[in-house]
Each structure stands twice: as C-alpha cells, then as structure tokens.
Amino acid sequence: MTALIISCAIVGGVGILIILVSVLFFTHSVRLKKKCSAQTMGTVIDYRCSRHTAESSIAPIAEFQVDGQTYTAYRHYKGVVSSKKITSAGEGDAGFYISDSDWFHKYSSGSFAYFSIMAKEKWPIGMEIPVVYNPEKPKQAYVEKVVSVSNMVGIILVSVGAGLTVLAGLIFLIG
C-alpha cells in the first residue's frame, strides 16, 4: 500500500467514525425528551445568570415537588443571539426574548442589570411555571420544555465527518 492510500483510508475512517459519533447526539435529544415525560407546575424562586461576555443570558429557576421531595429546574436555551435592536412580534423593545426555537435573543448593548429587571417582569418571583421532568429521576428537569443543543452538535459532526470522507475519496481518485 502506498502512503496516499493509507492516508486516504485514515482520513476517510476518521470521517466515518465522526459520523457514527454524531448519531449519539441525535439520539440523546430524542431519549431525553422521551424520559422527561412528566409535567408539573413549579414556582419561580430565583434566576440563573450566565455572564459570559458574548453568551450572557438569564433564566428562571423554578422549585417543584415530586413525591414530597423538592427539586429545582431552570429554563434552558439552545444558545444566545445578540443584535443591535430586537424586534419581535409582541415583544416591543424588550432587552431580550426567547424565540419559538429556544434561542435567547438579546440587545448586544444591553447591560446584565437590565436583563435582571426584565426577567423579574417576565417571570416574577412566585409565578407558577410548567416544569417537565424524568419521573424516574426528578433531578433531570427543565422549565417549560426539554431543550437540547445536541441536534446542532450532531449536524456539525455529520458535516465534518462527511467532509472528511468526501475529501479522502477525492484525494484517492485524483491521486
């Protein structure tokens, strides 16, 4: 075997391996939604602040009970989208909003203190809010619905794996 064939086989093999790993990310989201099949109402008790420079966001923390035990959960997002001005139907000039696809949209120039004020208006302390949870493991819970970024990671991995596999094939054919 030549070095070219060995190199193509290795790159192509890595591409196929990455594609196979991506399947785990796709199935994770499906399994998570299936496991978190129970729903109850929780009470907003606080806010979870994420203060990374580009990824700052805020989410309600809800307390809920299952079989006499008290648990907490918070609202998850797929990610943070920053823009100079937010315009969303019904949101006016709010400092942030959550899209139907579970992205946290915010003003790029908005201060975190402003997010806190807006969160207290959107989710006042004591407000009842839906919580979905895994009945076998209630610590695995989400405010409003299960949100998983694993599909996006899966898409990226499939793309990288397919790209490596196609690249290996092309180099083999050309070489």
Q: What is the pLDDT of residues 53-72, one digit of tens each?
A: 566 788 999 999 999 999 99
Which pTM value belongs to this model?
A: 0.69
End-to-end CA gap in the chain: 13
Q: Region 32-47: what's the mean pLDDT?
A: 93
Average pLDDT of every residue of the chain: 84
Q: Are residues 8 and 93 in the same domain?
A: no
pLDDT top residue among 77 and 150: 77
| pLDDT over threshold 50, residue 90 | no
When divided into structural domains, the chain yields a total of 2
**C-alpha 145: how far from its chain's center?**
11
pLDDT top residue among 89 and 20: 20
One DSSP character per residue, 39-105 reads EEEEEEEEEEEE--TTT-EEEEEEEEEETTEEEEEE---SEEEEESS---TTTTT-SEEE-TTSEEE
Max intra-chain CA distance, the chain: 70
The reported pLDDT for the residue numbered 31 is 86
In this structure, what is the dihedral angle of CA atoms 162, 100, 126, 107, given to the nearest 10 degrees?
90
Nearest to 93 by CA among 101, 103, 105: 105
Q: Are residues 11 and 83 in the same domain?
A: no
Q: And the tokens for 131?
A: 């919580």
| pLDDT over threshold 60, residue 88 | no
Q: Are residues 10 and 63 in the same domain?
A: no
Domain hosting 164: range is: 1-36+148-175
Q: What is the pLDDT of residues 91-146, one digit of tens each?
A: 444 578 888 888 888 875 555 567 778 888 889 999 999 999 999 999 999 999 88
Contacts of 121 (CB under 8 A, 6+ apart): none
Q: Region 137-159: what's the mean pLDDT?
A: 84
Q: Are residues 27 and 74 in the same domain?
A: no
Cβ atoms of 143 and 75 within 8 Å: the answer is: yes
